[in-house]
Amino acid sequence: MGFHHIAFATRDSEATHHFYSELMGFTLVKTNVSPTPGPQGGWSKHFFYDTSSATGGEPGSGMIAFWEIHDPAIGTEFEVDLNTHAGLPGWVNHYAFDSPTYEHLAARRDVWRAHGHTVVEVDHDFCISIYTKDPNGNMVEFCHTTRDFTPEERANAVAILHDPAPAMEPHEATITVHPPLTADAPA
């Protein structure tokens, strides 16, 4: 079962919209405006992006949504970066979107770089991922699965999960940092 949507707060709807429509390739499909719960008289915009538009998947197969909140009880100085608020490094909590082909992954990487983002590419052995941060400081990822899980991986998954001191993976991830493209840099 897939998810219907995941939702996060933003303090900058315009920057968030630009990033998720232009850089991620998602389509804005719905915006709700409604009162927030409570006696303070607040309101919010809740806007939804169809993520399948970036990958050619089945429409409505998963959405990401954001809240623009105007509520005196909440205020305007709330944290929107999940990791900062939790006291964790930026790579821990992140959202990963499927990239159906390596060509799609490379195209998204190039779009991010062309818009001034540093992109980290990681070959995890069973998948290749690219990472950057959205305007809210949250890590986003496109991930392309490169092979099926082996029978050994499937058979050992539960045992490794419950092992308090598991052995390191035999594959060491290959990490490439792609700097942003500049006006005078080749594309």
Q: Which domains does the chain have, with CATH numbers?
A: 1-78 (3.10.180.10), 80-187 (3.10.180)
Q: Between vectors from CA 139 to CA 136 and to CA 140, what angle results, nearest 5°?
A: 105
Residue scoring higher pLDDT (55 or 183): 55
Q: Give residue-wise pLDDT tens across range 115-165.
A: 999 999 999 999 999 999 999 999 999 999 999 999 999 999 999 999 999
Does the reported pTM lie above 0.85?
Answer: yes
Question: What whole-number distance in Å separates Cα of residue 22 and Cα of residue 154?
Answer: 37
pLDDT at 187 over 50: no
pLDDT at 60 over 70: no
Per the CB < 8 A criterion, the answer to whether 103 and 119 are in contact is no
For a pLDDT cut of 90, what percent of the chain falls above it? 81
User: In sequence order, what are the residues at sequence separation of 6 or more whose Cβ sits closer than 8 angstroms to the Cβ of residue 69?
Assistant: 9, 36, 42, 44, 78
Q: What are phi and psi of 59, to 5 degrees?
A: -55, 140
For 20, phi then psi, to 5°, come to: -75, -25
For the ranges 64-68, 83-87, 183-187, the lowest mean pLDDT is seen at: 183-187
Give mean pLDDT, residues 159-187.
85
What is the pLDDT, as a whole number, of residue 121?
Answer: 98
Residue 57: pLDDT above 90? no
